[in-house]
Amino acid sequence: MESKIDELDGEFITTEPDVLAAYRYDQAGFCEAGKPAALARPRHTDDVVKVLRFAHEHRIPVVPQGARTGLAGGANAVDGAILLSLERMDQILDVDEINQTATVQPGVINSVLSRAVADQGLFYPPDPGSWESSTIGGNVATNAGGLCCVKYGVTSDFVRALEVVLADGRVLRTGHRTVKGVAGYDLARLFTGSEGTLGVITEVTVALRPLAEKPLTAIAFFTTSAAACTAVTEYLRGGRRPSVLEFMDKPSVDAVSAYRDLGFPEDVGAVLIAQSDRGAAAPEDLQAFADAARECGATEVIVASDQAEADLLIEARRLVGVAMERLGSRLVDDVCVPRSRLAELIEGIAAIAAEHEVLIPCCGHAGDGNIHPNVVFDAADPDSVRRGQAAFSAVMALGLRLGGTISGEHGVGTLKRSWLETELGEVGVSVHQAVKQAFDPRGILNPGKVIRSAPGRVPG
């Protein structure tokens, strides 16, 4: 294998062991990584073509990587693979103010794009937690979500056109730069969220929107999670479209408060944080939020009086991850259920936490029914690890029982591959394998991620 890799020369290829080691993992817990053979960091589509042609000819696995901020092991190395990092393809190629689109290379950081288009009065809404470090290519490959999705939709809602290098090195341009287009199958959408298993994304055209008004922000405090969940459905059934509607349960609030004093009341049972970016109509939106919250038993609702206070409230939500890391190791789950089942989900997770004797703080995008239960455990204690993993699985089983999905935005990778099979069922798995086979007959693209190869087919 290694002698073959040596034939793939170019200044963008390295086999330096220390460098390879640094690129083996994304940010998922409990996901194995193999030993890669090389790292390619191309600057041009032509170089990606070169890597894929070589890999295809020699049946060498290729693992595409963005910023490796994923939480499901999707970017982890596999044995003998060429790691194909797109981070150096980081140019914004075009921002089109009239047509409200941007065309970028895959390595452009989400926040870099967001700020660049904001300078032109435009808005790129998808804002995953990793937005300051994750790349547009990675966001597309995983169909990343974020806080704004409740109003604006997820990454796939903004993908117009893609350039993709196929498994055999051919370059496909697909999708359309126009607002609408029905000429042929929606391959751009098929690649979006396919986690590098169907092709390597080398250019992305995204839709933009006019820059929204600065949002108004409010927080509501509840004594129970159930009350907060009911407030979510009551608020949204009234027809409002908040630009953010986030939930934190008691263990999340406690963890964040222990990390940084936010001046929250004592004994908070749950909070909702809502924003409206409808300008002059925002106060009315937040009044409706406050009314719904109070009707559902909120003990207090506060509307931020200035930007600093608003930033603090959103910061409280964004701090959950950091605050949680002080409590122990964590496995971040990502179930999404119909909104009407949110209360059952949160209560069921509390029961799972009690049964497995682990802490599972829950926070997430309540307006979308998308919750991130953080299973916290002691990595040094094998029994705690076992209980943590059992709880992690139990949460997904609960999500499916409630009519939901095992992943709202983090993806499958290797972490949830067997759970994906449960969700898809036998026919679904078989169709996925047929699609994978059509795009990657030699099984070289991110093998072992998302979907197992069909029985009898040898990947790599």
Site string for a second copy, 300-339 (x = CB under 8 A): ------------------------------------xxxx
Figure out which of the listed residues 57, 79, 132, 186 binds a second copy, where binding follows CB under 8 A.
186
285 lies in the site for a second copy, by CB under 8 A: no
SS3 content of the chain, % helix, strand, coil (to 5): 40, 20, 40
Coil, strand, or helix at residue 388? helix
179 lies in the site for a second copy, by CB under 8 A: yes
Cβ-Cβ contacts under 8 Å for 455 (sequence gap 6 or more) = none
Whichever of 251 and 364 has its CB closer to a second copy, that residue is 364
Return the range that interacts with a second copy (CB under 8 A); candidates 39-47, 51-59, 84-92, 360-368.
Answer: 360-368
Whichever of 70 and 80 has its CB closer to a second copy, that residue is 70
62 lies in the site for a second copy, by CB under 8 A: no
For residues 219 and 245, give the distance between their C-alpha atoms in angstroms, rounded to a whole number: 10
Figure out which of the listed residues 31, 82, 95, 198 binds a second copy, where binding follows CB under 8 A.
198
Residues touching a second copy, count (CB under 8 A): 87
Return the range that interacts with a second copy (CB under 8 A); candidates 30-38, 193-201, 258-266, 309-317.
Answer: 193-201
What number of residues does the chain have? 460
425 lies in the site for a second copy, by CB under 8 A: yes
Cβ-Cβ contacts under 8 Å for 98 (sequence gap 6 or more) = none
369 lies in the site for a second copy, by CB under 8 A: yes
Whether residue 177 contacts residue 193, with contact meaning beta carbons closer than 8 Å, is answered with no
190 lies in the site for a second copy, by CB under 8 A: yes
Whichever of 221 and 235 has its CB closer to a second copy, that residue is 235
The minimum distance between CB 365 and a second copy, in angstroms, equals 8
Whichever of 313 and 337 has its CB closer to a second copy, that residue is 337
Whichever of 257 and 437 has its CB closer to a second copy, that residue is 437
Tokens of 324: 């949680």
280 lies in the site for a second copy, by CB under 8 A: yes
Query: Ramachandran region of residue 170, left (φ > 0), alpha (ψ -120 to 50) or beta?
Result: beta
The minimum distance between CB 428 and a second copy, in angstroms, equals 6
For residues 50 and 395, give the distance between their C-alpha atoms in angstroms, rounded to a whole number: 43
Query: Which run of H or E residues covers position 233?
Result: helix 225-237
Site string for a second copy, 139-178 (x = CB under 8 A): ---xx-x---xx---x-xx--------x---xxxxx-xxx
Figure out which of the listed residues 435, 453, 454, 460 binds a second copy, where binding follows CB under 8 A.
435
The closest alpha carbon to 145, from 123, 132, 130, belongs to 130
For residues 197 and 74, give the distance between their C-alpha atoms in angstroms, rounded to a whole number: 9
- Binders of a second copy among residues 75 to 114 (CB under 8 A) are 96-101
Figure out which of the listed residues 21, 312, 424, 454 binds a second copy, where binding follows CB under 8 A.
424
438 lies in the site for a second copy, by CB under 8 A: yes
Place of tokens 């910061």: 315
- Binders of a second copy among residues 212 to 271 (CB under 8 A) are 233, 236-241
- Binders of a second copy among residues 1 to 40 (CB under 8 A) are none
Whichever of 3 and 180 has its CB closer to a second copy, that residue is 180
- Binders of a second copy among residues 374 to 403 (CB under 8 A) are 403
- Binders of a second copy among residues 402 to 421 (CB under 8 A) are 403-412, 416, 420
The minimum distance between CB 67 and a second copy, in angstroms, equals 18
Tokens of 455: 């029985």
53 lies in the site for a second copy, by CB under 8 A: no
Figure out which of the listed residues 312, 437, 453, 454 binds a second copy, where binding follows CB under 8 A.
437
The closest alpha carbon to 391, from 359, 363, 426, 436, belongs to 359
Dihedral in degrees, nearest 10, Cα atoms 63, 67, 70, 72: 20
Q: Which residues of 20-56 are buried (b: 16+ CB within 10 A; e: fewer)?
A: beebbbbbbbebebbebbbbbbbbebebbbbbbbbbb
φ, ψ (nearest 5 deg) of residue 106: -70, -20
Query: Which run of H or E residues covers position 161?
Result: strand 159-165
